[in-house]
Amino acid sequence: MTIAPSTSAFTYDELDGILRGAGGHDGAIGMSAIDGLIAALVAAPAFVHPDEWVPLIFGGRRVRMTEGSPEERAVRTIFNRYNEVSTTLAERPRAYRPIFMIDRDGSVVARDWAVGFMLGIGLRPQKWAGSILLTEHRGLLTPILVYHDPGEALLSEMPPAEKRRQRLTAYRQIPQAVAAIRAICNPHRAAEARSQPKKVQRLPQKRRQLKTRRTHALI
């Protein structure tokens, strides 16, 4: 799947409003959850084709890619962010910043992002088990798991009070955790690519700067 460069993509807040706001798509997830999903896909030990994960964003249905349609613009926006995260983690991992939601009182809401990340793990659970989940590196997921209710099962040894305490600030550790996970998983991903040689063309996009906004922010 290849999308040509375009300036017609939505802003991240616009896309979030379309997907989750009035008249949004049934079952669709918001921009913060999309960003968590993208982070998991980029950091993952195995490549997942967009044909497999893009429908998850739109409630399980395939979107119509008519040139200039809202669906096509939405997908361009998503691929813009995918390429941005991929480039940042590969070239400047310390500069990576997730898109978390910001509540009206100014507090960071990391739950949606964590849900998206765990959704990405669920696409290749065996690969993640062999590289992160069932290895000494599982602790890297702790700042993500504390925000994900089903994922808390992997933190069975952590007392509930400690989980609540960590939720107050754990989001600050997520950028470093994602970068570290990507560094550990990348050799697995490269080995898979060598064993199954296919030319996977990146989705070229014109990079867009994320401006300060009320509902989402790079933290």
What is the rounded distance in angstroms from the CA atom of residue 192 to the CA atom of residue 195? Answer: 5
Q: Global pTM?
A: 0.83
Q: Where are the domains of the chain?
A: 12-218
> 12-218: which CATH topology?
Four Helix Bundle (Hemerythrin (Met), subunit A) (1.20.120)
pLDDT on residue 7:
54
| pLDDT tens-digit series, residues 71-108 | 888 999 999 999 999 999 999 999 999 999 998 899 99
| pLDDT tens-digit series, residues 195-213 | 876 554 455 444 333 333 3
Q: How confident is the model at residue 63 (pLDDT cuts 50, 70, 90)?
A: confident
What is the rounded distance in angstroms from the CA atom of residue 62 to the CA atom of residue 73? Answer: 14
Q: How confident is the model at residue 19 (pLDDT cuts 50, 70, 90)?
A: confident
Mean pLDDT of the chain: 84
pLDDT on residue 174:
98
Closest CA to 65 of 206, 203, 210: 203
DSSP state of 46: S
Structure tokens at 204: 């070229």
